[in-house]
Every structure is written in structure tokens, then in C-alpha cells.
A and B are shown apart, each in its own frame.
Chain A
């Protein structure tokens, strides 16, 4: 019985198989590619000779171009946020619960743009891409990236798509950090900033978890100092452990207890019998780790984890978030989840307090949920209701001509 529950839960993360009759699904979607054939200067001062970004769009851009929203992905996400690539796909994009016809980000109202971040491994230029100077994969030589580099590259894509101003930039977790950076770096180019289960910077505890994950990867004998491509191998074990650590922290203790308890998948505690014991939770985590390690590039994971650690919204503003937010011109919608202990409600409240002190328009909701950090990806009824309400109100403003901003 437990095994079925786990399977159902893992399907529930994104939704089920492709169904052509599902009116709330965006259906089949295609990945597009944007090539920026000029040097891209990173925040670390290095130049990438050219960059390629994989992206998808859902919905239709209005004639006045006011209904475009940018969706930013988190640590292990990619540009495939909604719909299916093939009719036999087992799972839709990672945010299919919230993007589609009639959903919170209603593709009947909005033109949604979703990008695989620079440094990614799903079609955008990253450590596994070929370095044109050496004709071998970049590997550890790929520049260190920061959230602001993603925002800068998304800005290039924005120009390519002919979008003058986003109705909103939206993201959860690391994606929320991108949305925040957008509000400060390009204040005139977005009307709303939607920040879900995020923070202005990581805590020491968070960095500690991330470093443990990185160590698991770099200590894998198959890592070869990041040049594993040359050895025709991949640090799968290290990457699987890194993912398991992350996965545990993205769930809540209560949820894990409820899903797995102490149930055994194999063996027995009967005295006088020696057997190979395995808890359900062990099997589940191993499955999650292996599945991730089979498809994700370890160097990209290291790069993303570092960008997460390095992000500090107010660093360039004298460590004063109020001064930082004074730059912003958009409205803010911030949501946190009660059982999220990696990006706790306290971190979101700090953000909201700074926004209030900077006299910026902000709404904040604290959603009761037992699903931990992953709540922002999952169907949580109150979150769906209030997120939908905010987006729906936003769509009414898209009709208003003249481009005036509501910021104070």
C-alpha cells in the first residue's frame, strides 16, 4: 500500500500523463532556442563567447504586449514549466499545476516565457556545453554565475522576443531570487514581482546543507575535478546523495512521517532472524536520487547551488534591504508556507517588512501547508486561490493602455 502512495505522490508533484482532452492543460509544447552571438560578460568579469538559451512560451502575446510574464525556475528546474513535449510523456513540466488554461498563471490571459537558466543542462549554454576555444566541454572552467547573470541573460531574451515590459516576473525559491533581482536591476521593465517560498539571502544553515551536497559530488571518484566528460563517466553516486540531502530538506518532517513512517520495504525485525532491512523512506530517497543523477549534470548542480549561496539582495545597497527595495517600481506579491524550514516564513516576512519600510506596494500571505518547501510546486488549495486572485487582478491591468505604474 505504501509503495502505491509513494508512486502517487511522486506523480502528484507534476501531474499525470498527457491527456489530449484535458482542458486545463496547455497540451503539447515545443522548446525554442535563442542564440546571442556576442560575448556575454558575466558578473565574475569573464566573457562567454556566445550564449544559447533554451526556452518555452505558452499562450499568446497581446497586440500591445502587456500580458507577458517571465517564470524563473529553481535549483533543479528548467525551461519546461508546463505541458508535454510528446504525447507519450509520463509527466508534464515542473509547474503544470500553476500554468495552463484556467490555472493561476492562466495561459488564456498571459503569454508565459520560461527559460532554462544560463549554466543549465537542458539546452542552455552550461558546463556541459562545448567551449569554442578548446572544442571540449567547459566543465569546471565554466564561469561562476550569479543570479544577476541569469537576469541579464533573460533580459537579452526579452529583447529578442520584442517584449518591452513584463506584466510580472514570477519565481519560487531560487526563482524568487531572480524575480527580486529583476525588480532592482530593471525596475522599469516589470509591473509585478511574485516571490514564492524565497528569501533575500540564504542562512548559514542553508549554505551548510548546500556545501554538504557539493562535497558529496566533488568527493565522488567519478567527478575527476569536474572533467568527468573526458573520462566518459558521471559522478552519479555523489549527485544522487546531493539530491537526497536536498530532497529531505525540501520536505517537512511531518510530511515524511505521514508518508513513510517507519514502514519497511524489505526485511523484518523478527528476533532470531537476520534479514536485509530497508525502510520505505530509504527506497524512496534512493529512487529520487538515482532518477535525478541520471538526467542532471553535476557541474550545473554545483553552479546552481553556488549561485543560491552567493545571492544577497542587499549586498550592493549597504546591506540594507530597505535601501535596495527603494530601487523597485513594481508591486510585490510574497507567499510563504508554514512548514517550509529551508525558506521559512520568517525570511519572507523580513522581505515584506523591508518592502513596507521602503513604501512599496506589497501583499503577503502565509499559507498553511504540511508539504514543506516544495509546497510552492504542489496543489495547495489556499495558495491556488490567492495566487489565482492576484494574477487575475493583474490581468485586468494588462488591458489598461498607457503603461502607467501603480508603484508609490
Chain B
């Protein structure tokens, strides 16, 4: 399981109505249904992921996030989720604005491009970082809008977005259930822009 799932679970109210944008195969919503009995809906564009959601028993709507969320009413969901998807949309600020309109609260997770390994990769090799978690080359990556923790903080400040909670994680691909809190947690929390591989933000308008 991805480490951000456990963080998200803590911030979601039981029996609330959840919309997951770019919900993938529906694993997160299924997890939240089991743990928090939420009423959930996913939005996805990939045909294989949509079929996987349906096999998982997760309600899913085929829709392109870059076209906006005009079909969703204001404050119609308790929480809108956007996990590991912000960097893949054409207009992250527009999607964020739409999320905050549709959801009373939003949870966003994104990979931190300011992580020391990304910096070292660029510094020593002079090439765009490629990792186990982000295996694509610059020319074929679906991740077209990378940002750092600091970049996201600045965007929140500029758009008057209130941050309810922040969570920073040293890894973004290991199995969170297999290990407890990392001994590096205090360091990651002290200097997230350098040591967080993944950031999880709980925000509202």
C-alpha cells in the first residue's frame, strides 16, 4: 500500500462523501470504504484503470480532469482527493481551484521534486531525474508539471488556500504497512523540501 493512503485515512471523516480525481484502479477508495465506510466516486480517464475500478466494485466516471469539473456542484463532496495526479494535469492551478469548489476539503499528494536525490541527479548528471517511482524519460512522461514542497506552499499562499494538515514522507513507493514510522521522520519534517519524497496536503478554501 502507498504510504499516503494511511495519512489520508486519518483525515477522512467516517461515512462522508468522497470524490477521488484520477482514482487509478480504485485501490484508495476501496481502502477508505473498508476503513471509513465512505460513499465514494472516482474520476478516471484510463480505460484499463476504469475496468479495474469496476471489478473492484468502485463507482467511476470516465472524465478528463483538464476539462474541469463543471458537472459537479459546489460543495457537493465532503472531501475531494487528488493523489499523485497534480503533476500530470495540464493546469494544476485550475484543477486545484475546481477541487476546492466541489469539495469542502481537499487532500492532495504529490512527489516533491526538491528531494535531495532529484537535486543530486540533476547536479551530478545534468539530466532530468529518473527514478524507480518516476521511471519515465522527460519526453514521454505523463508528469508534466513537477513542483517542490516550497512551490506548493507558495501557490497555497497566492490563492488563499488554507492548509489544515501537512504530512511529509521519506519514501513514496515502499509498502507503508511493512514498516513503522521512519527514524528519519524528524529530519523530513524539519526540512521537507529537501528530504520529503512525497507530500500530503489537507487543504480548504
Chain A residue contacts of B62, Cβ below 8 A = 364-366
Does A357 count as interface, using CB distance less than 8 angstroms?
yes
Interface size on B, residues (CB 8 A): 19
Beta-carbon contact of A331 and B59 below 8 Å: yes
CA distance A386 to B63 in the complex (A): 16
- Minimum distance in angstroms from B41 CB to a CB of chain A: 7
Chain B residue contacts of A357, Cβ below 8 A = 73, 76
With beta carbons under 8 angstroms apart, the residue of A331, A361, A365 that contacts B50 is A365
Chain A residue contacts of B72, Cβ below 8 A = 356
Q: Count A-B contacts at CB 8 Å.
A: 47
Beta-carbon contact of B54 and A393 below 8 Å: yes
Beta-carbon contact of B57 and A382 below 8 Å: no
Given contacts A349-B71, A386-B50, A408-B39, contact A356 B61 (CB under 8 A): yes
- A-B complex: 5 closest residue pairs judged by Cβ atoms: A353-B71, A389-B54, A389-B55, A364-B61, A361-B59
Chain B residue contacts of A363, Cβ below 8 A = 53-54, 59-61
Q: Interface code A317-342, partner B: CB below 8 Å = 1, 0 otherwise?
A: 00000000000000100000000000
CA distance A390 to B57 in the complex (A): 8
Chain A residue contacts of B50, Cβ below 8 A = 365, 386
CA distance A193 to B72 in the complex (A): 22
Does B47 count as interface, using CB distance less than 8 angstroms?
yes
Could you tell me which residues of chain B, from 53 to 110, have a CB within 8 Å of some CB in chain A? Answer: 53-55, 57, 59-63, 71-73, 76
Residues of B within 8 A of A (CB): 17, 39, 41, 47, 50-51, 53-55, 57, 59-63, 71-73, 76
Beta-carbon contact of A386 and B51 below 8 Å: yes
Residues of A within 8 A of B (CB): 331, 349, 352-353, 356-357, 359, 361-366, 382, 385-386, 389-390, 392-393, 408
CA distance A393 to B57 in the complex (A): 7
Chain A contact residues: helix, strand, loop or mixed: helix
Chain A residue contacts of B47, Cβ below 8 A = 382, 386
Which of B39, B54, B72 has the most chain A CB atoms inside 10 A of its CB? B54
CA distance A331 to B61 in the complex (A): 13
CA distance A366 to B45 in the complex (A): 10
Chain A residue contacts of B76, Cβ below 8 A = 356-357
Given contacts A357-B73, A359-B17, contact A352 B55 (CB under 8 A): no
Q: List 9 A-B contacts (CB under 8 A).
A: A331-B59, A352-B71, A356-B71, A356-B76, A364-B62, A386-B54, A389-B55, A392-B55, A408-B39
Beta-carbon contact of B61 and A352 below 8 Å: yes
- Minimum distance in angstroms from B30 CB to a CB of chain A: 12
- Minimum distance in angstroms from B29 CB to a CB of chain A: 12
CA distance A165 to B64 in the complex (A): 36
CA distance A164 to B99 in the complex (A): 42
CA distance A408 to B39 in the complex (A): 7
- Minimum distance in angstroms from A305 CB to a CB of chain B: 31
Query: In the complex, given contacts A356-B71, A357-B73, A382-B47, what are 11 additional A-B residue pairs having Cβ atoms less than 8 angstroms apart?
Result: A331-B59, A352-B61, A356-B41, A356-B61, A356-B76, A359-B17, A363-B54, A366-B62, A386-B47, A390-B54, A393-B55
